[in-house]
Structures are given as structure tokens and as C-alpha cells.
Amino acid sequence: MHRKSLLRDTDHVKAFARAINPQVQANQSWSWRMSSAGLLAHAVRSHGWAFIPNQILPPLLANTSVAAILYTSYLQILGRLHQPSAEPAKRVYPPSPPTKTFLAGSAAGAIQSVVAAPLDALAVRFRPADLLHGRVYGSMWQYGYLKTREIGIRGILAGWSLSFVKDSLGYGFFFATFEYVKSQSYYAFITRYYGGLDWWHLPADNHDRVIRPHYAIEPCFLLSAGMAASVAQQIINHPISRVQDIHYRSLAILDRKNRNSVPVSQTVRLYMAAYRKTFEQCRARANQFCGWRSWLYRHFVWNTIRQVPSTSAGLIIFELVRRRYGTEVEATRIEKDGYSIVLR
């Protein structure tokens, strides 16, 4: 179950639409009918407009809520760790050090993993066949309610420790990398570049000795920050997701045993046995691919390339919204060689 940074996992949002699409089921070559818009259009034609509120809206609302909790937690925690970040200014200067952005991102990821545990539990157990023609569940709303009651708190927390590690470490590196490239690297670049200009490179009428960097430089660093953050997060998330994919296959067995109201002590032993079995299966897979690193990072490049655009777009929107609602303060000035580099 590979997650994206802005929305945790959009694949299960489209899973039902894929299951009822004849082109997808026939394994035809890709066309616009297999795009998100094409899948949705076919689903609406087949099941009416009620398909959107019944099947698409529930996971979309859940994912959006989890993303909002993640970013809100990150900003609040970072503000506690780094006082300038607590101010509602459009630009934070001096920027927070990477250690503090890493701690804030890790804490926010940990909070998100707790809040999203029910969503993850539902996502890994979701089978589109259960919703086809209302065989088991009439809608995603009903699926979420009945499945949560069925698996209980034990089922929700099954495999949660892997999600906790992945989210806390992944988002720690995610936000630390984003803020470092967006802020520290940007400030270092303009200070070095404009600070190294001789007086004859500057306009003759620049009597106030003020330099305003070109407006296109900062957006380039913002885009690079989103791409670098996505790669950094994938370095952590990709191998853990490989282990999760194997571990979650044992959840069906654990769910059946939990329905028999086994004691808590026996449940703990079952979960520990499931983790040991997962490790043995992972070791066998790693031996097939000539080592742990070869197996854990298999398909890493392709999955990262797929994730970079959505992650970069999400971070850019996040940063634009933060600046849009930030308060106007005095322009940031960086003094260098007798000149003031002014940033707004």
C-alpha cells in the first residue's frame, strides 16, 4: 500500500471504478478511458450520479482530513520548536534548522498514523467485489461502518507499528528536506550569487545599495524542494511498504481468530507470530533477489517518478496557501558586502 504525501493513498479511491471498467478488466492497452476522468465517467454512466457520494466521496473525505491533520500538526509543532515559525508571516527568517523540521515532521507523521489507523485498516481489507452490485456492502459508507465493527480495535491496530515507523521517519525526512531546499539552500544561493556581484554589474541608479533577486529564482527552488522531498520520503517509505505488502496478507487469518474473542495475551502472541512469519517471508524474497537491498528497492525509481509530480504539486499548494494567509511584515534583508538583498 503505497501512500502519497498529500493524500495517503488514492488507489483505493479508484479501485471500485477500475473493477467495473471493461477496458481495465480486459487488460487493454492504456487509453484516456483508463485515466481517472475516464474511469469516473464510465462509473457515472453505469451507476448514475449517486456513485460519487456513495463510492468516491467517503475515501476522498477521509484522505483529505488526514492530510489536513498532518500539515496542521506539523505547523503547530514546528512553531513550538522554532519561535519564528510560529509567527503568521509570509516568510520565515531565519529559517528553522533541519533538526527541528525533522522532529516536527516526525511528530506530525506519528500523529497522522494514529488518526489514520482505521483508514489504513479499511484500505488493506478492501475488495471491490464486495461492492459490485451490492453483494456485501451497498456503499463505501456502509463498508466503512460494518467493516470497522467487524474487525474491532484489534484489527485496526494490526500492523500499525509498521505504519508508525514509516510515517514518523518518512515525514521527518520529507519536511526536513523540503524546508532545507526551499529556505536554507535558496538563501545560501542568493547570498552567494548576488553577494559576489561587482559594483559594475549593478544598475547605475542603484544608489540605495539594494538588490532584489529575480522573481523566478524562488519558484525554481520551491519546485526543486518538492521533488527532493518526494525522493527523500520514498527512500524510507518504499522498503517499508514492501514489508507491509507481505505482512498485510496475514490480516485475514488474524481477523478470523479475533472474531472468536481470543484473550488479549493470545492476541499479542498471534501478532508477534505474524511479524516473525513476515520476516521469514521477506528474507526468502530477499534471497531470491540477491540480497535485502535489491529486493527492498525493487521498482524504486519508477514508483518515485510516479509520485514526484503529485507530491511536488501538493507541497507547492501547501506553501502558497501558507503565504496567501500570512501577514505582511517588513521585507527580509540579507546584508552582504555593503548591499542589502531584499526578499518579499
Q: Tell me which range, 125-139, 187-201, 240-254, 291-305, is most confidently predicted by mean pLDDT.
A: 291-305
Give the separation between CA 291 and CA 288, rounded to whole angstroms.
8
Task: Give this prediction's pTM.
Answer: 0.83
Under a CB-based contact definition with an 8 Å cutoff, are residues 91 and 32 in contact? no
Give me Rg for the CA atoms of the chain. 24
Convert the pLDDT of each residue in 70-123 to its tens digit.
Answer: 999 999 999 999 988 888 777 888 889 999 999 999 999 999 999 888 888 888
CA distance linking residue 267 with residue 265, whole number of Å: 5
**Average model confidence (pLDDT) across the chain:** 80
- Per-residue pLDDT tens for 153-176? 777 887 788 899 999 999 999 999
- What grid cell was written down for 304? 518515485
Q: Kindly indicate the confidence band of residue 135, based on its pLDDT and cuts at 50, 70 and 90.
A: low
State pLDDT tens for residues 214-250. Answer: 778 888 898 899 999 999 999 999 999 999 888 887 7
Q: How far is CA 103 from CA 56, 73, 225, 238, 310, in A?
A: 34, 12, 18, 21, 24
DSSP class of residue 101 equals: H
What is the enclosing helix (H) or strand (E) of 30?
Answer: none
Farthest CA pair distance, the chain: 84
Report pLDDT for 19: 67
Does residue 30 carry a pLDDT above 70? no
